[in-house]
Amino acid sequence: MPAAVKTLQDIDWSTWKAKDPATLVFVVTEGRVLLIRKKRGLGAGKINAPGGRMESGETRLECAVREAQEELCITPIGLTYSGENLFQFVDGYSIHVHVFKATGYEGEPTETDEAIPIWSDVDKIPYAEMWEDDTLWVPLVLDGTRFSGRYIFDDDVMLDYELDVSAGA
């Protein structure tokens, strides 16, 4: 990877491989979405959906379920694949995030050492407390529209992005 990555064109995406594969899962029920305030790790302090890095031998779906269980003590149900986001940070870190939408869950959302549960009406999502790119693709998850995004970040500032949208999820 070039030393001064600032735009999408600075990367050969045909050979790009993320350091970490990961998942996010948005539980959406009765006009509300279950989010978290991250207490540690990448994006600590920000609001996001439950999720995290895949473990060796784990499928995307298994990771999405496990991370929701670890972060909120719930098991998401009715999961469907929404899309993917490829993030390259100028410091060299990279992550490939597979996004899921769940129509329900089992258990009671509970604060853990990783996350605080936050329910939000889908029309009042606190984007100002989230990653900058979330305003672009989270509405697609909620609407059931498939997507694929690529982003360049300098710490938590988005420098460049491209979002491809296709109908139907």
In a domain, 8, yes or no: no
The answer to whether the pTM exceeds 0.85 is yes
13 in any annotated domain: no
Q: What is the CATH number of the domain that holds 41?
A: 3.90.79.10
Answer whether residue 1 is part of any domain: no
Residue 29 lies in a domain: yes
Look at residue 157 and tell me if it is in a domain.
Answer: yes
Mean pLDDT of 82-108: 97
Number of folded domains that form the chain: 1
* Percent of residues, the chain, with pLDDT higher than 70: 96
Q: Is 113 helix (H, G, I), strand (E, B) or coil?
A: coil
Does the pLDDT of residue 168 top 70, yes or no? no
Cα–Cα distance between 84 and 138 in angstroms, integer?
11
Q: Which pLDDT score, from 0 to 100, does residue 3 have? A: 59
Region 138-150 average pLDDT: 96
Q: Give the pLDDT score at 169.
A: 41
Contact 95, 3 (CB under 8 A): no
Establish if 12 belongs to a structural domain.
Answer: no
- The C-alpha atoms of residue 143 and residue 73 are separated, in whole angstroms, by 26
Q: What is the average pLDDT score of the chain?
A: 94
What is the average pLDDT across 22-29? Answer: 97
Domain of 61? 19-166
50-55: average pLDDT = 96
User: Does the structure show a pLDDT above 60 at 113?
Assistant: yes
Residue 71: inside a domain, yes or no? Answer: yes
pLDDT (0 to 100) of residue 148: 96
Q: In the block, which residue shows the tokens 């296709």?
A: 166
Does the structure show a pLDDT above 70 at 57?
yes
- Residue of 144, 146, 149, 169 lying closest to 160 (CA atoms): 149
Q: Which residues pair with 106 in a beta bridge?
A: 75
How confident is the model over 63-79, as pLDDT tens digits? Answer: 999 999 999 999 999 99
Does residue 126 form part of some domain?
Answer: yes
